[in-house]
Amino acid sequence: MSANKSITERIFQAIGFELLAILICTPLLAWIMGKPLLDMGVVTLVLAALALAWNVVFNGFFDRELKRFAIAHTPWVRVVHALLFEGGLVALGVPLIAWWLSISLWQAFLMDIGVLLFFLPYTYIYHWTYDVVRERFIFQSV
């Protein structure tokens, strides 16, 4: 699969990733945490904006390194991608969650682990699906 994506396409890919995640996570987190849907929606949107920026930056770097070292998008590379992506997002998001919800960093970290358990497979599946659909679209256009 081709890793040559424009910045516009990377932004489109990241926005799709975040919008789908918001649609899934907002009601789920509101229910789990017993918070109003609007409150969790705001928290989810703020974290999604952070994740959106991280998505564009990280995926650009990751794809560039794959190309530089001629590494294929194998299932194991996708696992590494998902782990590194989510690890970086945890490091960026936990302090924000702790501040926003007025909880300790440890509590925010534990809460984020629950979210991570959703996002690890979600990240893998979303990016794999995006690449498959993109590849089919490109070959149909040629």
Q: What is the pLDDT of residue 41?
A: 86
pLDDT digits (tens, 9 = 90+) for 64-116: 999 999 999 899 999 999 899 989 988 998 998 888 777 789 988 988 888 88
Contact present, 65 and 107 (Cβ < 8 Å)? no
- What is the chain's mean pLDDT, rounded? 87
pTM, to two decimals: 0.66
- Closest among 21, 41, 16 to 31, alpha carbons compared: 41
